[in-house]
Structure formats: C-alpha cells, structure tokens
Amino acid sequence: MNKKLEKAFILSIDFLTINFAWLAYYLFRVESGLFEMFTQPAVFLSMIVVYFYWLLVFTFVGMYRTWFAASRFDELSTLFKASFVGIFLLFFLILYDDSSHGVSSSVRFIILIYWGILLFLVGMGRVFVRSLQRRLLINGIGRKNALIIGFNSKANNMHNQLDTFKALGLDVIGYLAVEEENRGKVFNGKKVLDTYKNASGIIKEYNVEEVILALEKNEDDILLHVVAECDSLNVAIKIIPDLYEIISGQAKTSQLYGFPLIDIMPQLMLEWEKKLKRLMDIVISFIMLAFTFPIILFAAIAIKLESKGPVFYKQERSGLNGKIFKIYKFRSMIQDAEKQSGPVWSSKGDPRITKVGGFIRRVRIDELPQMINVFKGNMSLVGPRPERPFFVEKLSQEIPLYKRRLKVRPGITGWAQVKHKYDENVEDVKAKLRYDLFYIENMSLRNDLKILFRTIFVVLFGKGHYE
C-alpha cells in the first residue's frame, strides 16, 4: 500500500467512523427520549462541523503521517491522547450550547458516552486499516527494498529483525560496507555489494526505498557523507542510534519491534502546515511592524545620530533552495565594516560594533526590519538563520549536511538561536547545525510556537551572545 493510497484509505475510514460516532451520540442524546432537549442543530450540519473538528485535531497531532512500522498499539495510544484533549474543547462548546438553551447540567456527562463511542469506532477503524496493511505486506504486496549501510553486529541484528517480522514490509537487498575488505561477504544470503562511497549508485540500481544506517560511534563522518549523498534521492533514511543518543533524548526514535531507530523524515512539513505557517508569518510580521513602529523610528534616529552611514544594512543571504535575497537589518557596525577584511564573522567585543549597535543587538532590536523579509516571503518567523552565499559554499565543503538547511525557508529565530550563541567561528556553526537539523527533521507548528515563546524569554532576560 503506497503512501497516497494509505492516507486516502485512512481518511475514508475516519470519515465513516467519526460520522457514525456522532450520529450514534446524536440519536442517543436527542431522539431516544432519555434526555429532555429544547433545541438542537440539524444532525447533518452538526455532523459535518464535528467531523472537520476531529480532522483538524488528528492532523495537528500527526495521525495522518505515514509513520514507519507504526504498530496498532501506537495507533490506539495516539488516538486516545488526541481524543482526550479534543473532547475537552468539544465539551465546553456543548456546555455553552446547552446553557444558552436552559438545559440541566445533569445531562452533560453524556459527552463521556460520545467519547467512548468515538474511541471504539475510530479505534476499530484504525486497527482494521493497520491489520489489512500488515496482511498485504506479509503476502508480498507493497513491500520495499531496503539497504543496510554498515557490516557489523548492529547491522546483522537489524537484518534478522527484518527477516523475522515480515509485517514490516522491508526486504534487505544487501549491505554497503565501511571497509573495502568486507566487500563480497555474506550474511543471511545477502552480500556486501559495495562500500558506502557508492551509496547513490546502488540505491538507483536496486530501486531502494529504505536506507538503514548501522554505523559505529566513531563513524560520524561516514554517516554525514551518506545522508548528504541520499538527500537528493527519494529514499527514507533510518539510523540505528548509539546508547548515548537514546538515553540523552537527543534523537527522536521510533520502535521497530523494540529496536530503536532514528527516522529522518523525507517530508519536512505537511502541505496544510506549510500554508498555515506562511499565513502566521504574514499576520504576525504585519502586526509586529505596525506595533513596533515607534521603536523602529527611535532606533533609526539613534543610529543616525551616533555614526555616519545608512540606518538600514542590506546584505545578500541564501534563502529557500539557495535563492539569493537581500536581508534587512539595522546597521549595528561602523560604515563599510568589511571593506578591508572581507566577509568575516562578528565576535564578542568586536570593535566594529557601535555603542547603539551593541545595545540593539543585545535586545534583538536589530532584527526588527527582517519582519519586512518575513512579510515578503524571503524568510519565516522560525527557521535556520540565513547565511551569506560566501559562507554557505565554504561551509558546505567542510560540513557535508550544511546545505540541508536550504530546504526550508530561513527564519528570524530558530532552535539553534535559543540554544546557542552567535556564530564566531566554524565550531559554532557545527554546533548550531545540530540544532538546525533537529528542527528541520521535527518541523511542526507546535515546535514553531515553542521556539517563539523561548525567543521572547531570551530577549526579555538578555540571554545569548552578550550575557
């Protein structure tokens, strides 16, 4: 079952079960005669409204993503948590409707009956879909070719898991070794086809859809090389984490029959989330520009009075998919600060920074003009910070995964900004890249809101580069 068919099937089953649950609740509450009701919206109108309500709730918590090896228990667990939260808001909506029509509070407990009906019907629908999907996979329908990179005990254990549990739907076609000496070796009838250096060629030749990285702790450079090489290919990448990554919580892991895997999601954000994120960018940037106009005016006057040069500083940056755009900032350095040195990073105590510039940097006022970039669509409120093309090319040569940051629209703030200081050298960039990649692989509106609130905390308490 491919992803589009799976998603369409789940949406259809949910449509039926959610509406049947509401119809059963409606008939029990209104038509059974057990509860006295003065008025009630038409059944079909209320059914449509409630269906779209649950559709939004389920979509927001990720119940329509095609999770890797999702178990039926995980499906029901996610449904329980999503419906538990969603039922509260629905309860208050019904409470308001009942109160406005003088209905006794003693009958409101039946919302729990609705919750029970919803859980049962939608849960059974989800179990049916997953059970059917597993049966098809076991019978050889919809299976995918998998390639294991690494030839060690971790790789062999994973191979055994995939051979044992056919419901996972993955067929191992072979290995790619780290060392040349392992080429040609065999495990469970599958050969080491080549080394990791020819990963893209093997993936294309064998129509591989799933790549599982089983590397040792000291092989991080190989991991980065492989992920960067596969980045442009239509493959899902899973990494078997080491113990430290699991217990430290640095990696979001999925379970493969008890075997943890880091899932590098090929779909960074759902289409509806992308559109809502862009709408949020437009609305908030417009409000910010309107409400902070007095601050912008005061900062512009202060900059002009202190030093010669323009108030605003425009600079080329690499945006979404590498597209070049002009970023706007308040000028915080002396005029032509890089005329002699060329492109360099600023540092703590940088003599080129003016007194006004130091203050507006510390309280992040220098970033306010970037709301224009956000409104225009060059940037987003949340995302990896945009870098100059000069440094993008330079850093991508030193750091294989650096250009992956260009897959998303750059932001005014991001996970790296609230967790790390300004870039002063390549080591800072490497440290922040980990946070940027974590954000990219876990993009969601919920995470964006979390980062925005943490940014407010950073600004209010002066945390960051100048603390």
What are the tens digits of pLDDT across the range 85-130? 888 877 777 666 555 555 555 456 677 888 999 999 999 999 998 8
Q: Which of 335-344, 399-408, 437-446 has the lowest mean pLDDT?
A: 335-344
Give yes or no for residue 158 having a pLDDT over 80: yes
Q: What percent of the chain has pLDDT over 90?
A: 24
CATH 3.40.50.720-classified regions of the chain = 144-264
Distance CA 156, CA 321 (A): 38
User: 319: pLDDT confidence band, cut at 50, 70 and 90?
Assistant: very high
Q: Are strands 312-318 and 253-256 parallel, antiparallel or unpaired?
A: unpaired
Amino acid 426: pLDDT: 65
Give yes or no for residue 281 having a pLDDT over 70: yes
Amino acid 465: pLDDT: 44
Backbone angles phi, psi at 128, to 5 degrees: -60, -45
Distance CA 423, CA 367 (A): 16
State mean pLDDT over 284-311.
Answer: 89
State mean pLDDT over 173-182.
Answer: 91
Distance CA 373, CA 285 (A): 9
User: 383: pLDDT confidence band, cut at 50, 70 and 90?
Assistant: very high
Closest of 320, 245, 317 to residue 281, by C-alpha:
320
User: 218: pLDDT confidence band, cut at 50, 70 and 90?
Assistant: confident
Tens digit of pLDDT for each residue in 52-85? 999 988 887 778 766 545 677 778 888 998 898 8
Computed over every residue of the chain, the mean pLDDT equals 80
Distance CA 403, CA 318 (A): 10
Contact 155, 174 (CB under 8 A): no
What angle in degrees, to the nearest 10, is found between the helix axes of 111-138 and 72-100? 160
Contact 328, 371 (CB under 8 A): no
Q: Which of 193-197, 236-240, 259-263, 284-288 has the lowest mean pLDDT?
A: 259-263
Q: Which of 25-39, 73-87, 232-246, 344-358 has the lowest mean pLDDT?
A: 25-39
Amino acid 102: pLDDT: 52
Tens digit of pLDDT for each residue in 415-430? 888 876 555 566 777 7
Amino acid 38: pLDDT: 41
Amino acid 466: pLDDT: 38
Scan for tokens 């980062």, then name that residue: 451
Give yes or no for residue 326 having a pLDDT over 90: yes
Distance CA 423, CA 425 (A): 6
Which architecture does CATH list for 144-264? 3-Layer(aba) Sandwich (3.40)
> Of 194 and 236, which is predicted with more confidence?
194
User: Hey, which of 94-108, 123-137, 235-249, 336-350 has the most confident mean pLDDT?
Assistant: 123-137
Amino acid 19: pLDDT: 92
Amino acid 247: pLDDT: 43
Q: What percent of the chain has pLDDT over 70?
A: 78
> Of 373 and 57, which is predicted with more confidence?
373
Contact 61, 82 (CB under 8 A): yes
User: 134: pLDDT confidence band, cut at 50, 70 and 90?
Assistant: confident
